[in-house]
Structure 1
Amino acid sequence: MDTITKMVVINSQKVLPSDVVIKLYESNADVMIKETCFGIIVSGERPVVEQLLGNIRKMDPYGIFIKERGLAPGEPYRCRATRRGGARPGFHTLETEDRILPYIASALKALDKGEVPEQKQRKKKLDIEKLKQIIKEAEE
């Protein structure tokens, strides 16, 4: 069976990471659960993990974000103990993504309400002939 690891990043005003962890443990699913500073890592058989996290996401569809992770918890490549400290690979990317999640959540809410964002007007680039004219006038 296909084993996957998914990262659950919680950036919610309604749900705490502890609420999600309790719900995961209550499911009695055959998965490995690990709490992190950004949320939770869940590892197990693909169908079990996907069904479980589909139900978890319903707790706050705009505040719980899920992405697949390449390595399982405890992998020596990711473990700081075997890497002699420092941030784990991908930590800084996740930290940056975490900062923009409220913007993504508000955009998803707007789309679900049927709001369509306005197209931004692109500024036209300055024509080279116009630039030459401006320089010539400035020299005079």
Structure 2
Amino acid sequence: MKEYTPGYVGTVTRYVFVDSPTVTPQDLAIAAYEVAMGVMIKETCFGVMITGTADEVRRIEEMLRRLDPHHIFIKDRGFPPGDERRCRANLGGSRPGYLGHEFEMQIARFISHGLKETDTMKENDLRKAIETGKKERFLDIEELASLIDTEEA
């Protein structure tokens, strides 16, 4: 096995995903480039990857999130852009992890909706919503039969 020498010691890499009707991945990239100051920015089809010191990355994330707080999502990435252990230029084929991002982006609109709904709720309303969500809901036998009939048709 080839010995690995890290190229970006002391840095973090995070994805900033966007699923917004008003902000595009290109908008994120441009906004990030404007304030990057030595941080590596890579535009992706989902948003941007940011690699730099933890403080600088956090500063840029906070600025980007202000563009559309309910539609911008951030998650850690274990490898910097172009890392030979993960980059498809070295591995060939589709990018590892792409299908995971694709799935996450399909549910992002539901998370966005929840964020918008809870943004204006008072603390008591939030507590009630949490308690409501905790209740076990059983599927009624008639509803199950209806679902089965619908699938068979």
TM-score between both structures, scaled by the size of structure 1: 0.80
- Give the structure 1 partner of residue 78 of structure 2: 70
Does residue 97 (structure 1) correspond to residue 104 (structure 2)? The answer is yes
Larger relative helix fraction: 2
Say yes or no: does 1:123 pair with 2:130.
no
- Is the Cα–Cα contact under 8 Å of residues 88 and 96 in structure 2 kept in the other structure? no
In the alignment, which of 41, 58, 62 is matched to residue 54 of structure 1?
62
Change (3 A) 1:72 1:111: same
Q: How many Å separate the matches in 2 of 1:84 and 1:124?
A: 46
1:9 and 2:24 equivalent?
no
Q: Which amino acid aligns with 1:78?
A: R
Quickly say closer, same or farther: Cα 1:124–1:59, change in 2 above 3 A: closer
CA gap of 1:84–1:30, structure 2 versus 1, over 3 A, is same
**TM-score, with length taken from structure 2:** 0.73
- Aligned-pair identity (%): 39
- 8 A Cα contact 2:16 2:74, kept in partner: yes
Q: Which amino acid aligns with 1:97?
A: E
Across the two proteins, how many residue pairs are aligned to each other? 125
Superposition RMSD on alpha carbons, in Å?
2.2
Whichever residue aligns with residue 41 of structure 1, its letter is M
Quote the residue 1:136 is aligned against: none
Unaligned runs of 5+ in 1: 127-140
Which structure's CA Rg is the greater one? 1
SS at match of 1:65: strand
Please tell me whether residue 106 in structure 1 is matched to residue 113 in structure 2: yes
Question: Equivalent residue for 2:53?
Answer: 45
Shift of 1:2: 3.0
Q: Which runs of 4+ in 1 moved over 6 A?
A: none
Q: Distance in 1 between matches of 2:92 and 2:22?
A: 37
